[in-house]
Amino acid sequence: MKITEIRVKSRLEIAEEAESTRRELLNLKFQWQSGETGNTAQRKFIKKKIARLKTVLREIDLGINKNLVSGG
């Protein structure tokens, strides 16, 4: 998901997606520990997605980007 796609969503949608992505990362960590998956690139991708989501949430909180939707 690109940053421009995230910025058009409401704050609530972004927060929900961040939470679901965190759960996805946790599940991936469990799969990694049990040996079910060996795909490290997927972990990297999910971590970057979480960082993007948190960045946009912080921009909304600080009012940095006035074009962002703060409702929801």
Share of the chain above pLDDT 70, in %: 90
pLDDT at residue 31 greater than cutoff 80: yes
Q: What does the CA dihedral 47, 53, 56, 62 come to, rounded to 10 degrees?
A: -90
Residues 68 and 59: beta-carbon distance below 8 Å: yes
Task: Look at the pTM and tell me if it is higher than 0.75.
Answer: yes
Kindly list the distances between the CA atom of residue 44 and the CA atoms of 9, 29, 58, 70, in Å, as whole numbers in the listed order. 23, 11, 21, 28
Rounded mean pLDDT of 57-67? 84
Token pair in block for residue 49: 């997605």
Domain 3-62 class?
Answer: mainly alpha
pLDDT at residue 23 greater than cutoff 90: yes
